[in-house]
Amino acid sequence: MVKSLYSKEVFEHFKHPRNLGKIKNPDAVGEAGNLLCGDVMRIYLKIKNNRIVDVKGEVLGCLVAIANTSMLTTMVKGKTLKEALKIRKEDLIKKLGGPEKVPPFKLHCSILALDALHEAIYNYLKQRKLPIPKELKERHLAIQKTLKIIEQRHKEFIEFEKNLFDESTQKIH
């Protein structure tokens, strides 16, 4: 049933994700989250001469988010930072079987993967005091704002769960 909802590419990258995990001593890390689902993604980069020589991703998210992270890492490996920034959500979705194979309510999973990549590149440029494109700066501000809201929601949720637990233990005693 679930399988029929998605393309074979999505399913393949979900079942056998490429480049998942962390890079030891990365040159840059980027994190992004989605407000609607609360999912979070992290991208680690190793960069040499302005080129991405290694990339890994961590996902706290859905099947499509995992497939997107996996596919995106295969797409950016070996690319220059400029080339990597040119990848659009449409390119990613196309590689995953096209928009007709990704349900509309799952399109944001591709944006999440790209946001994490953009954040990693932003952080890399910032740390090295290199010029940052205007569009990337603006995206960075929006991503950070979203992450703050998600963090606050997580805190409230944990507090809610804790109170629920305390209440239920009191009733038992």
| Residue ranges in contact with ligand FES by CB under 6 A | 34, 37, 39, 61-62, 64-65, 106, 109, 112
Residue from 9, 4, 32 nearest 92 by CA: 9
For residue 47, which amino acid is it?
Answer: I
Closest approach, Cβ 112 to ligand FES, in A, equals: 5
Closer to ligand FES at the Cβ: 56 or 108?
108
Residue nearest ligand FES, Cβ-based: 37
Closest approach, Cβ 107 to ligand FES, in A, equals: 9
Count CA within 13 A, CB hemisphere, residue 33: 18
Residues noted as catalytic: 37, 109
The DSSP 8-state label assigned to residue 34 in this structure reads -
Joined tokens for residue 147: 């992450």
Residue 32 has phi, psi (to 5 degrees) of -145, 160
Helix, strand, coil shares of the chain, percent, nearest 5, are: 60, 15, 25
Closer to ligand FES at the Cβ: 26 or 61?
61
Closest approach, Cβ 133 to ligand FES, in A, equals: 25
Closer to ligand FES at the Cβ: 65 or 150?
65
Closer to ligand FES at the Cβ: 9 or 27?
9
Closest approach, Cβ 72 to ligand FES, in A, equals: 13
Edge-to-edge strands, sheet with 28-33: 28-33, 40-48, 51-60
